[in-house]
Amino acid sequence: MEEFLSGNYISREIKQVINDVGDELEFEIIRYKDRYSVVVTISQDKPPFKEYIGFGEDPRRKKRALRMALKELYLQAYGEKPD
């Protein structure tokens, strides 16, 4: 977390998408000089309330970090891997 706060990252992007179940997913993708780091969350303000978070990192590929974070999130939220 110190790296992020000190600005030692190359790029940072935030994206929001609605998945096939109708839940809004928010992705924070951070590229450091030596890795990609992804945090993905489901957060709802109406019932049924869901608060889940998944993390993923990969030294070279953003796509792998994304998949890792999504896999963790989907296992928590739905008890299964994403398609």
Q: What is the mean pLDDT of residues 44-55?
A: 82
Q: Which residue has the higher pLDDT, 21 or 71?
A: 71
pTM over 0.95: no
What local confidence, expressed as pLDDT, does residue 1 receive? 44
| Structural element, H or E, at residue 13 | strand 11-18
Residues of the chain with pLDDT > 90, as a percent, come to 60
Burial classification of residue 42, based on how many CB atoms lie within 10 Å of its CB (0-12 exposed, 13-18 middle, 19 or more buried)? buried
pLDDT of 56 above 90: yes
